[in-house]
Every structure is written in C-alpha cells, then in structure tokens.
Homo-oligomer: A and B are copies of this chain.
C-alpha cells in the first residue's frame, strides 16, 4: 500500500515537449512533432507542415545571424488563439506551432507549423493561414546581423 503511493502523481508535471504551442530557444524536431500528432488520431490522413528557416540575405543585404525576441505570455497566448481559431475555422484535427527565440544561425530552423487533417485541402489552407496570422499578430521581433550592424527588421530607413 505504502509502496503504491510512491507511484501516484495526482498533478503530473506537464512535459513542455508535448505541448502543441511553444516558444523556445532550442531547436525542435519536425519528425518528433509529426510523430506526436500522428499519435493523437488515426483519422489523420494528411499532415502539412511549414518550416521557416534563416536565410543568408534579406532586402539585398547579406545576413550573418539572426536573433528573435518575444513578449512572454502575450506571444504564447496569441499563438494559442490562432490555434483555436484554426481548429474551429478549418476541417482539421490538430495544430502544432513552435517559434524559436534568441540567437539563430543562418540555415537554422525558426518556426514550425504542423497541421493534421483527414483530407489535405483543409490542412494546406489552415497551415498557410496559421503562418500568415503568426506573422501579423504574434509579438515576436527579428533582429538581423548585416554588415551595417544589428538591425531590427522594421527599423530600416
């Protein structure tokens, strides 16, 4: 009896790696996120993902590195709202959204959207909509390192 209690976890700690909305400094695994989504439902027949990566140039300038900053809590909350809206607007089964912050090297992953659906059309539409909304509404800012120095993307003359 006493032994069994040792294995009781009435309030298990939530592993941040299983959450479907995340802002994190480390990289993510696309395979792992897709695997988790497949585990949710065998009704999912199509999974569309968008992966944003760090390019080596921007507006004619060579970019050597990037850095992202976010407004904690508000950024996560906005991602959550986008996810909820997508799940009610489109005929889809699951949405995962992950954005990295901090320093990011050229070629590295920045953002991942994964959408699972019974049929592919809805998955494409929802995935495309989610990344559009993320760019428009989530308080995250990008700073690029170019030969002119470190420049916040919307602060260019």
Question: Which residues on A are within 8 Å of B, measured CB to CB?
Answer: 29-31, 34, 38, 42-57, 106-107, 118, 120-121, 123-124, 127-128, 131
Contact = CB atoms under 8 A, between A and B. Distances in A.
A30 B38 CA distance: 14
A49 B109 CA distance: 14
A55 B124 CA distance: 18
A143 to B, nearest CB: 16
B107 A50 contact: no
Contact of A124 (B54, B56, B107, B128): B128
A135 to B, nearest CB: 9
A157 to B, nearest CB: 23
Contact of A50 (B29, B48, B118): B48
Contacts of A44: 53, 55
A46 B42 contact: no
A64 to B, nearest CB: 11
A107 B43 contact: no
A120 B47 CA distance: 17
A55 B31 contact: no
B49 A107 contact: no
A51 B31 contact: no
A47 B44 CA distance: 21
A52 B42 contact: no
Contacts of A131: 120
